[in-house]
Amino acid sequence: MHELGITQSIVEIAERTAAKQQATKILSVTVEVGSLSGVVPEALEFCFEACTNGTLLEGAQLLIKRIPASARCCDCSREFPLEELLACCPDCGSAAGELLSGEELRVKELEID
76 contributes a contact to Zn ion by CB under 5 A: yes
User: Are the beta carbons of 71 and 79 closer than 8 angstroms?
Assistant: yes
Task: State how beta strands 61-67 and 26-34 pair.
Answer: parallel
We find the least distance from the C-beta atom of residue 72 to Zn ion, in angstroms, to be 9
Nearer Cβ to Zn ion (19/92): 92
String marking each residue 36-75 x if it binds Zn ion according to CB under 5 A: -------------------------------------x-x
> What element of type H or E holds 107?
strand 105-112
> Total number of residues binding Zn ion (CB under 5 A)?
7
Nearer Cβ to Zn ion (72/106): 72
Distance, CA of 69 to CA of 104 (rounded, Å): 9
